[in-house]
């Protein structure tokens, strides 16, 4: 049990280090990023789509939203990021719906029971929480034949709320952290 706790804290620390590194890159290269603003929101949408379409291999779409909210409008970045993330989650849903995925895991069985019993609430909650378990919810929603919009709407709403939080945190924290990073460069 102690080993699992250590692994959990290691992941959290690693995630924070990546977030700080991305914050540094964005804060020191904002003018460079602005030169490529023609990718803008479409680039954020595609990046979040790709990050969330990887079933069982978590990719941090929240860091994309967190960092680019300091360059673009945080509300729009959060919304576009959430749309890309929700569209990416359709991959797991489709795999479950097609019956091509066989998962023999206790976590999956629990998530499947919750999804079957609470539907919208489970999908929304897992989409909102920053946990890599959402793929299990997507697959189980497909296996349970939850209607597409019964899956997509709570997925988008949960991701939207989460991404807005990340976007406004990023928009507020990166300008504050920028002088800190610049002091290391000088």
pLDDT tens-digit readout, 154-174: 999 999 999 999 999 888 876
In a domain, 85, yes or no: yes
Angle of helix 148-185 relative to helix 120-128, nearest 10 degrees? 10
In a domain, 79, yes or no: yes
In a domain, 92, yes or no: yes
Neighbours of 176 (CB within 10 A): 10
In a domain, 29, yes or no: no
Higher pLDDT, 141 or 38: 141
In a domain, 19, yes or no: no
In a domain, 124, yes or no: yes
Tell me the C-alpha distance between 131 and 141, whole Å: 17
pLDDT confidence of 15, banded at 50, 70, 90?
Answer: low
User: Of 64, 32, 27, 63, whose CA–CA distance to 45 is shortest?
Assistant: 64
Dihedral, CA of residue 164, residue 84, residue 19 and residue 166, to nearest 10: 0
Tell me the C-alpha distance between 41 and 45, whole Å: 6
Q: 118 and 156 in contact (C-beta within 8 Å)?
A: no
**pLDDT value at residue 108:** 61
Note down the domain range covering 78.
40-173
Is the entire prediction scored with pTM above 0.85?
A: no
In a domain, 12, yes or no: no
Q: What percent of the chain has pLDDT over 90?
A: 20
Total domains, the chain: 1
pLDDT confidence of 100, banded at 50, 70, 90?
Answer: low
Neighbours of 138 (CB within 10 A): 31
In a domain, 185, yes or no: no
- pLDDT tens across 20-61, in order? 565 555 455 545 544 444 578 888 888 888 878 876 666 678
């Amino acid at each position: 049990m102690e080993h699992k706790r250590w692994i959990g804290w290691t992941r959290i620390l690693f995630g924070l280090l990546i977030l700080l590194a991305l914050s540094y890159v964005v804060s020191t290269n904002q003018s460079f990023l602005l030169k490529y603003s023609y990718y803008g929101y479409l680039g954020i949408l595609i990046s979040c789509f790709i990050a969330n379409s990887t079933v069982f291999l978590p990719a941090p779409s929240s860091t994309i939203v967190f960092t680019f909210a300091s360059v673009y409008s945080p509300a729009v970045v959060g919304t576009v990021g959430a749309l890309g993330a929700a569209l990416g989650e359709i991959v797991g849903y489709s795999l479950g719906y097609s019956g091509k995925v066989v998962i023999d895991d206790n976590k999956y069985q629990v998530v499947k029971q919750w999804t079957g019993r609470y539907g919208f609430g489970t999908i929304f909650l897992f989409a909102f929480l920053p946990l890599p378990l959402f793929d299990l919810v997507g697959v189980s929603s497909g296996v349970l034949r939850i209607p597409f919009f019964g899956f997509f709407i709570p997925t988008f709403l949960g991701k939207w709320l989460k991404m807005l939080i990340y976007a406004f945190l990023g928009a507020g924290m990166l300008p504050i952290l920028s002088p800190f990073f610049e002091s290391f460069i000088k």
